[in-house]
Amino acid sequence: MPPLSVKAFAKINIGLLITGKRDDGYHTLETVFAPINWYDVLEFSDSDDISMSCSNASLPVDDSNLCIRAAKSLKTFSGSTKGVTMRLHKQVPFGAGLGGGSSDAATVLRILNGLWRIDASPAELHALAVSLGADVPYFLEMKALAFAKGIGDELEDLGFTLPYHIVTVFPEEHIATVWAYRNFYRRFDRQVPDLRMLLRELCFNGKEEFFPAFENDFEAAVFDHFPAVREVKTALLETGSVFASLSGSGSAVFGLFEQEADALEAVKCFSTKYRTCLTPKGFSMEQE
């Protein structure tokens, strides 16, 4: 067959509240995932073995790569004798808190499940996704806004999209998730707000006074250690965003804009220095 080309979209976190730590070392959290129009492109070609190449030479393409791990986990699960050659055109920054690697892995599971005619059930694919990473199931199962809890793998489709244009900026700092979890400032004893209810009030009733509830618990520590990231958030607010925040464990920062003209002006401002992405109002991964 000719190569099959598929987009693997990234995400941002609207609020990220770390609520505790389990006995197995994983942290529990509550967050809202939202897709953005920043994506990698994966090409799939028939092969006898499983292999891949990448446009970014600094990323490994061995068994430590999530795409390879996803393909091999699906092959082991199914007993398939088929292989695949994958070409990853890497465009989403890594170490950015945008879930690019997780999205790539989810795309591999979804596409190979069809190409190899495995027909694994949603529950079976979910289990494989969780074994690869806590936020892989979001990219596998959801198209738009989703509330997540547990370690990020317990998902609820919120059934609507954001009524804001999103400008996402990568400040050229690569922050390891392991570092972020070791250094964030714990607040396990606070009362956690209902992010689902508050986001509905924001999106349907325009109650922007609820924005302060959408904190990112990684933000304070990241800002203390990476001042350039703090500066991007400040600049986004100064350019007219109604809300700005770190995404995931960083270092990407996003701003929400009510007016497209303001969002376009922000992109113009930031793109001279940093990699920047504009996501239109009402975006979902159905655009794939």
Same domain for 176 and 145: no
The three-class DSSP label of residue 111 is helix
Residues 169 and 82 in one domain: no
Reduced to 3 states (helix: H, G, I; strand: E, B; else coil), residue 254 is strand
Q: Tell how strand 146-149 and strand 27-47 pair up.
A: antiparallel
In this structure, are 181 and 251 located in the same domain?
yes
Give the contacts of 184 (CB within 8 A, at least 6 positions apart): 18, 217, 218, 220, 221
Edge-first strand listing for the sheet containing 243-246: 243-246, 253-257, 165-170, 275-279
Residue 111 sits in the same domain as residue 13: yes
Q: Which residues contact 29 (CB under 8 A, 6 or more apart)?
A: 16, 17, 18, 19, 148, 149, 150, 151, 152, 217
- Tokens of residue 196, six digits: 């689902």
Same-domain check for residues 142 and 216: no
Q: Are 49 and 142 members of one domain? A: yes
Catalytic site includes residue 11 = yes
List per-residue pLDDT tens for the chain, 288 residues long: 678 999 999 999 999 999 999 999 899 999 999 999 999 999 999 999 999 999 999 999 999 999 999 999 999 999 999 999 999 999 999 999 999 999 999 999 999 999 999 999 999 999 999 999 999 999 999 999 999 999 999 999 999 999 999 999 999 999 999 999 999 999 999 999 999 999 999 999 989 999 999 999 999 999 999 999 999 999 999 999 999 999 999 999 999 999 999 999 999 999 999 999 999 999 999 744
Domain boundary among 128, 157, 186: 157
Same domain, 127 and 190: no
- Total domain count for the chain? 2
pTM here?
0.95
273 is catalytic: no
What is the CATH classification number for the domain harbouring 253?
3.30.70.890
Query: Rounded to an integer, what distance in angstroms lies between the CA atom of residue 176 and that of residue 221?
Result: 13
Last residue of a domain, one of 130, 157, 184: 157
For residues 121 and 236, membership in a common domain is answered with no
- Residues facing 6 on adjacent strands: 42
Mark whether 23 and 123 lie in a shared domain.
yes
CATH number of the domain that residue 82 is part of: 3.30.230.10
Q: Which of 75, 82, 90, 135 is catalytic?
A: 135
- One-letter amino acid for residue 250 of the chain: G
- Does residue 125 sit in the same domain as residue 194? no
Co-location of 181 and 236 in the same domain: yes
What is the extent of the structural domain holding 116? 4-157
